[in-house]
Amino acid sequence: QVELVESGGGVVQSGRSLRLACAASGFTFSSYGMHWVRQAPGKGLEWVAVISSDGSDKYYADSVKGRFTISRDNSKDTLYLYMNSLRAEDTAMYYCAGGSGYCNSWGQGTLVTVSS
């Protein structure tokens, strides 16, 4: 069955960097676009970024553009999110999700807390 497992979250100081990873299994990873979606504590869902199946196309929310980078390694079935210049407002649960448009599979999420 499809499984997405995020890792790399934790507590980080404002202005620092963090790399999230999402290990995929149970499907042909290289055939699907992938997303990062985040959810601040007690708040709704916020779409963060999407990457095409071959990694050639990447799009970002305005709130993270220029600070976050989405990438993937299809040889390792892994999705990444590189987060730089972190701010308090980036504190959230970060989910990876599979799908080129709608998200039909989701991981359990990894929590990122940015402290000042």
Question: Binding residues for another protein, per CB under 8 A?
Answer: 35, 37, 44-47, 50, 59-62, 95, 97, 101-109
**Cα radius of gyration rounded to whole Å, the chain:** 13
DSSP class of 55: S
The Cα–Cα gap between 3 and 106 comes to 8
- Nearest-approach distance from CB 50 to another protein, in angstroms: 7
CA–CA separation, 115 vs 103, rounded Å? 30
Closest contact distance (angstroms) between CB of 47 and another protein is 5
Residue among 15 and 54 whose Cβ is closer to another protein: 54
CA distance 99 to 75: 18
The nearer residue to another protein, 35 or 72, going by C-beta atoms, is 35
Which is nearer to another protein, 23 or 61 (by Cβ)? 61
Least distance in Å: CB of 46 to another protein?
A: 7
